[in-house]
Amino acid sequence: MPLPRPLLDHTVTALAAVLEFKHPADAVVSRHLRAHPILGQQDRAFVAETVFAALRRLRLLETLTGGRDPRRLVLAALIRLRGLSLRELDTAVKPRERDWLADLKARAEDNSLAVRCDFPDWLLARLQRQYGEEELLALAQSLQQSAPLDLRVNVHKGERDAVLARLAADGIAARATIYSPVGVRLEGKPQINRHALFLEGAIEIQDEGSQLLCQLLAPRRGEMVADFCAGAGGKTLALGALMRSSGRLYAFDVSEKRLAGLKPRLARSGLSNVHPQWIASENDARLKRLAGKLDRVLVDAPCTGLGTLRRNPDLKWRQDEATLSERRAKQDVILAAAAKLVKPGGLMLYATCSLLDEENAEVVQCFLATHDQFELRPANAALAQQRIELDTGEYLRLAPHLHGTDGFFAALLARKAA
């Protein structure tokens, strides 16, 4: 079917706005689509999928087109990545573009590692120090794919088998996740947020890797627990369900706007043990009152988010070495502040959705070197206690090419008993 010219124009306009890299790509695309309600569901999906395809392979498209012209990038993405034919584009393009498109379709790709991985130079250099070329390519190519849609079953309201049966009865193809005992992976991208199970709070959208972080911390009934960087509360709700809505679970964050996103989710969940609290900083008086009193603390630290490139491909282009340095300094401060909450014999989980050792193991090693009252607990042993068959060594390291999840890192730190 020929591509309508207005639909091409919408896609070019949306990509041009995204390429300013002032705001997250999903927010920019959503704003464009909201401003043009005349677009139907299929057209909206076309715009979003094409923009994100271009972001995932921006370096390749730039080498093919010779620059960052949004229109040329969109046309190249349609021909080289989304498989549209010259005939399908014929009525949408200008006459002078037809010959260029024919040449583009036949042009050989740059076979350099940088283009095949489609990382900026600063990121490629760091990942080359961590991985051999074969594994680096496998990781990079997995990050160039769209992420699956995972759900977490709210065990406070139901069991996974019942959820799977309900989804099957409603014609939604799904299966149990491989590692998470409360996860469900859907086939395709149905509008699950309109399903009764979602509206009733029986399920939440959450990547399997994110679920595993909460399983690793393994909070128990009746404990005092904190999610130190709660954001919109996805992990908070998972922890609260594992606690069976007992004990006391604090959801701290320095952003009132992010915490506001937790309120409707908390209401759906049916949990009564969650207490969202805005804090002004890592030194807030609310935190000082809890010093040395908490059984478990989750530190899902702000990071570059590079493990989520399947969902947020713009992150690799919106950040640089300066961003990494800022995040790294913040991670040290946050981890040290969170550690003050942990009681003797308690546990703290440091976690990121980053791929970089600088934000992961190096942070943990620096912390342990200056906090001798803490020690590392092997993640593989802790997961085995939860009957989760996943062994990535003393740290939890997840990656899409190995585990089918987003990229995550976690270290379990125990405060020595007094």
Q: What is the 3-state secondary structure (H, E, C) of the chain?
A: CCCCHHHHHHHHHHHHHHCCCCCCHHHHHHHHHHCCCCCCHHHHHHHHHHHHHHHHCHHHHHHHHCCCCHHHHHHHHHHHHCCCCHHHHCCCCCHHHHHHHHHHHHCCCCCCHHHHHCCCHHHHHHHHHHCCHHHHHHHHHHHCCCCCEEEEECCCCCCHHHHHHHHHHCCCCEEECCCCCCEEEECCCCCHHHCHHHHCCCEEECCHHHHHHHHHHCCCCCCEEEECCCCCCHHHHHHHHHCCCCCEEEEEECCHHHHHCHHHHHHHHCCCCEEEEECCCCCCHHHHCCCCCEEEEEEECCCCCHHHCCCCCCHHHHCCHHHHHHHHHHHHHHHHHHHCCEEEEEEEEEEECCCCHHHCHHHHHHHHHHCCCEEEECHHHHHHHCCCCCCCCCCEEECHHHHCCCCEEEEEEEECCC
- Cα 170 to Cα 137, 157, 160, 164, 187, distances in angstroms: 39, 19, 15, 10, 13
Q: Where do we find the tokens 């030194």? A: 283
* Catalytic residue set: 353
The answer to whether the CB of 114 falls within 8 A of the CB of 126 is no
Sheet containing strand 149-153, edge to edge, reads 174-176, 183-186, 149-153, 203-205
Instruction: Identify the sign of the CA torsion 387, 390, 392, 396.
Output: negative
* CA end-to-end span of the chain: 71
Q: Which two tokens stand for residue 215?
A: 């399983």
